[in-house]
């Protein structure tokens, strides 16, 4: 694989890791919003699940950033994106006391979040298929073979 392709794979890993690192850190620092979404979806142990989601997102984001266990991590993140998109961002949002115009905006944003999650899943699947590239911990360990 050319060095240009390996630089582009590194850039893709950095960009694909950013959201998970920032989101995971945010959930660990203040899990209340996530716990509310989890409770709203009818799942139990909302605070514990919010912390677990934050920890997973932070660790997965860091693994992607440095290219460690990239193929496995990318597959799990792709599944996470589809799951969270379908469970937390489908359906109509109705918040008591909010004006109709604000709810319309929130519902539009929610639709965008579903599309974002599904689209990102495609990027993570591609990363799972091609691997971490030469500039990664996986490459140093001999586990980063990618499609030429």
pLDDT digits (tens, 9 = 90+) for 21-38: 999 999 999 999 999 888
Please spell the DSSP secondary structure of 68-91, one letter per residue: SSHHHHHHHHHHHHHHHHHHHSSS
The predicted structure's pLDDT at residue 134: 94
pLDDT tens, per residue, the chain with 148 residues: 788 999 999 999 999 999 999 999 999 999 999 998 888 888 999 999 999 999 999 999 999 999 999 999 999 999 999 999 999 888 777 677 778 777 788 888 889 999 999 999 999 999 999 999 999 999 999 875 555 4
The predicted structure's pLDDT at residue 136: 96
Q: Which residues fall within 8 angstroms of residue 2, CB to CB, at 6 or more apart?
A: none
Q: How far apart are CA 66 and CA 133, in angstroms?
A: 11
Say what the pTM is: 0.88
Q: How far apart are CA 35 and CA 118, in angstroms?
A: 22
């Amino acid at each position: 694989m050319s060095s240009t392709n390996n630089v582009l794979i590194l850039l893709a890993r950095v960009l694909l890791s950013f959201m998970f690192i920032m989101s995971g850190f945010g959930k660990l620092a203040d899990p209340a919003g996530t716990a509310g979404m989890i409770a709203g979806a009818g799942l139990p142990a909302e605070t514990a699940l919010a912390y677990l989601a934050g920890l997973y997102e932070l660790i997965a984001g860091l693994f992607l950033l440095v290219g460690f266990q990239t193929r496995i991590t990318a597959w799990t993140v792709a599944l996470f994106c589809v799951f969270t998109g379908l469970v937390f961002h489908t359906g109509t949002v109705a918040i008591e006391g909010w004006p109709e115009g604000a709810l319309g905006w929130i519902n539009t944003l929610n639709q965008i979040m579903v599309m974002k999650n599904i689209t990102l899943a495609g990027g993570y699947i591609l990363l799972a298929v091609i691997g971490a590239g030469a500039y990664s911990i996986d490459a140093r360990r001999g586990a980063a073979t990618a499609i030429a």
